[in-house]
Amino acid sequence: MMPSATHLVLIPSYNPGPRLAATVAAALAHWTLVWIVDDGSTDGSASGVARAYAADSRVRVIVRLKNGGKGAAVATGVEAALAAGFTHVLTLDADGQHPVDHIGPFMAASQAQPAALVLGRPLFGPEVPLERLHGRKLSVGLARFEILGAGIDDPLFGFRVYPAAALRAALASTRRARGFDFDPEVAVRMFWAGVPTVNLPAPCRYFAKDEGGVSHFNYLRDNLKLIWLHTRLIVQLLLWRWVSVGRVRASRAR
């Protein structure tokens, strides 16, 4: 596998425990460049990976001293990737939920259409919590309303390949999207900005606690954050963005 001069795997990480080391090892079997952004972890997971790969140029660990949320961690990684000359990042959860064996096909789709945001459409197993599954259905419907139709099959699934400059522009357009609201907000904003989208199926697994599963999702706090997110996006759409979004959609139909 030849190293890529344009695409790398980016893993935002906050207290994932031993699953981080397993995820990094698995990702390296499918891609040659894996960067980790440690978002103020206190469990030693990132420092352990840094020691294990200290002499391995395929792996880089970037440390944020203070926890800022997933979006903040990805933003830090994207800035570093752009500064190093990379153009695209595939975001991968640190806990092993995302399918590392799909890294290659997703990267290939991005290389074939470099301007596009390549989005994962999750295929869930029977272990997925029903409340999370039903919540996703609502988010999918709201995202489709916000972009006036199809184009984002799942706004919450974080297994994606981003054009890095377009992602940086989307993040610069809002002071939000730095926590759990990152995935849906940047997907909608990138669509608004005219970034093409490609949706590909990808399996997703939820690990139970006795399997080492780690979740930082707070049902009250993060659901309220998502409600506020969609309220903001819908208000913007209805007040002024509907014209430009309509133009984006018309240009896609040509």
Burial of 84 (0-12, 13-18, 19+ CB in 10 A): exposed
Written as six digits, the tokens of 34 are 């894996």
In a domain, 246, yes or no: yes
In a domain, 16, yes or no: yes
Q: For the whole model, what pTM was predicted? A: 0.92
In a domain, 86, yes or no: yes
Number of separate domains in the chain: 1
Q: What is the CATH number of the domain that holds 185?
A: 3.90.550.10
In a domain, 94, yes or no: yes
pLDDT in tens for each of the 254 residues of the chain? 667 999 999 999 999 999 999 999 999 999 999 999 999 999 999 999 999 999 999 999 999 999 999 999 999 999 999 999 999 999 999 998 999 999 999 999 999 999 999 999 999 877 666 666 667 888 999 999 999 999 999 999 999 999 999 999 999 999 999 988 999 999 999 999 999 999 999 999 876 555 555 555 665 677 788 899 999 999 999 999 999 999 999 998 87
List the domain range (segments joined by +) for residue 149: 7-253
In a domain, 2, yes or no: no
* Other CB atoms within 10 A of residue 104 CB: 12
In a domain, 123, yes or no: yes
In a domain, 1, yes or no: no
In a domain, 233, yes or no: yes
